[in-house]
Amino acid sequence: MRAVTVCPGVADSLRLVEDHPEPLPEEGAILVEALAVGICGTDHEIIAGGYGEAPPGADRLVLGHESLGRVLEDPSGTLQPGDLVAGVVRHPDPVPCPNCAVGEWDMCRNGRFTEHGIKALPGFARDRWRLPPRFAVGLDRSLAPVGMLLEPTSVVAKAWEHIERIGGRAEWQPRTVLVTGAGPIGLLAALLATQRGLAVHVLDRNTTGPKPGLVRALGATYHTGSVCDLDFEPDVVLECTGAPVVVLDVMYKVAPTGIVCLTGVSSGGRTIDLDAGALNRALVLENNVVFGSVNANRRHWDLAAAALARADPSWLDALITRRVPVEAYTEAYTPEPDDIKVVLEFGS
Ligand code: BGC
C-alpha cells in the first residue's frame, strides 16, 4: 500500500512509498481505510529534518497526524464498518508517569510519550491504518469533508479547557479574546471563542487572501499590524504564531487578571532585547498567567468533535484551501501564499 514517509533528521527525504507493509495487528483492533490527512507546520518541520523520530528499528517515519478515515472492520464493536474515524495522536508513555497513568498523556511528565506521524509511531498518511478502540474517535457523517480538522480542534479544545480552569482561580468574567495568528489553530481557537459568546479579535499580518473574510464570518474583528497598537486589553489571549515579538507583546497587552495561552511552537535561534524585570513586574502586579499548551487527551478530542458538530459546515470547509490527491503529494507539502489548511486525499 502507499505511504508518505520521511527519514527523520534528513532534510528533503519526503517520499511516497508504493509497497509499504499493511498495518500490523499489534497496532490495534480497528482497521481503517484512509480518506485524508491534514498538513501542518509540524509536518513541514519534520520534512526539513528538524523534528520527528522513526519507530524503533525503522529508518523511515510515515507522516500524518491529522487523520480522517473510514472503518473497515472493528471486532471490538466500538465502531461500525463505514463509520468515520480519526486517530488520537499521542499515546501515553510506558512507565507511565502520573499524568499518562490517568489518560492525561497530553501532560506527560517524562517525555516518553509517542505520537503518530511525529514521534516513534507511524502516521496516518498511508492507505490503511489500525487503532486500539480507546484511541479511535468516531465522527458524525456530516463531517466527512472536514473531519481531518478534528486534530487541530482538539488542540484548541484543550487550550480553552485549561484557560477556563485557570480562570476559575478567582471570580472571572472574561469578555474580550485576542487570537494572534489566523492559521488553522488561530481560526479554530477563534471559532471556540465565539461558541463561548465572547467578543473575539484576531490579529494576523495578512491583509489579503481568505483570512479576513473567515474571521468576519465568525462575527469577529480582524486586525493587522502590531499588538501594541490595539486599542483594548484582552482578558484572554491565544497566541498562535510563535513569533517572538508577538509572544512578548501579548504578555504586556493582556488585561489585569488576564490569561495568555501560548500554542505556537517557535523555531528558536533568534534573540531579541527584553527588559525581563519590567515584564515580571507587569505580570506580577496584574495577577496575569502565561502558560503553554500542546496536544490533547481523549476528553479534548470529544469536546472538539462536539465543537465541530456545532460549527457552520461551510465555514469549516473554507478553512481547507487546497485538497491534493496523494499521487501529487509533493504539491501538498509545498506551501502556497494563501494556504490555510492543505489536505492530502487518499480515497473517494
Ligand atoms: C500536534 C500535537 C503534537 C505537537 C508536538 C502538533 O503539531 O498537533 O498533537 O503534540 O505537534 O509534537
Q: For the segment 14-38, what is each residue's pLDDT rounded down to a tens digit?
A: 999 999 999 999 999 999 999 999 9
75 band by pLDDT with thresholds 50, 70 and 90: very high
C-alpha cell at 295: 496536544
Q: Check whether 261 has a pLDDT greater than 70.
A: yes
DSSP 8-class letter at 227: G
Indicate which atom in ligand 1 lies nearest the CA of residue 118: 12
User: Is the minimum distance from the CB of 157 to ligand 1 under 6 angstroms?
Assistant: no
- When pLDDT is averaged across residues 263-286 and rounded to a whole number, the result is 93
Query: Which residue owns the Cα nearest ligand 1 atom 7?
Result: 42
pLDDT for the residue 267 = 84
Classify burial at 344, counting beta carbons within 10 Å of its beta carbon; exposed 0-12, middle 13-18, buried 19 or more: buried
pLDDT for the residue 269 = 85
Q: For the segment 94-137, what is each residue's pLDDT rounded down to a tens digit?
A: 999 999 999 999 999 999 999 999 999 999 999 999 999 999 99
pLDDT for the residue 347 = 79
Q: Check whether 270 has a pLDDT greater than 90.
A: no
Query: Which residue owns the Cα nearest ligand 1 atom 2?
Result: 295
- CA 56 to CA 75: how far, in whole Å? 28
Instruction: Report percent pLDDT > 70 for the chain.
Output: 100
Q: What is the best residue among 42, 91, 112, 114 to mutate for testing ligand 1's pocket, by most ligand atoms within 8 Å of CB?
A: 42
| Of 19, 1, 81, 14, the residue nearest 43 (C-alpha) | 14
Using the CB atoms, write b or e for 93-116: b if 16+ within 10 Å: beebbebbeeebbbbbeeeebbbb
CATH H-level, domain 154-292: superfamily: NAD(P)-binding Rossmann-like Domain (3.40.50.720)
User: At 166, is the secondary structure helix, strand, or coil?
Assistant: helix
Q: What is the best residue among 115, 119, 135, 240 to mutate for testing ligand 1's pocket, by most ligand atoms within 8 Å of CB?
A: 115
Query: Which residue owns the Cα nearest ligand 1 atom 3?
Result: 295
CATH code 3.90.180.10 region(s) in the chain: 3-139+312-345
Domain 3-139+312-345: which topology?
A: Quinone Oxidoreductase; Chain A, domain 1 (3.90.180)
234 and 258 in contact (C-beta within 8 Å)? yes
pLDDT for the residue 348 = 57
User: At 29, is the secondary structure helix, strand, or coil?
Assistant: coil
**267 vs 189, more confident:** 189
Q: Check whether 88 has a pLDDT greater than 70.
A: yes
**Torsional sign, CA 207, 211, 216, 221:** negative
CATH code 3.40.50.720 region(s) in the chain: 154-292
- When pLDDT is averaged across residues 164-184 and rounded to a whole number, the result is 98
Please state the pTM of the whole predicted model: 0.97
34 and 128 in contact (C-beta within 8 Å)? yes
State in Å: Cα 232 to ligand 1 middle: 31
- CA 152 to CA 226: how far, in whole Å? 26
Average pLDDT, the chain: 97
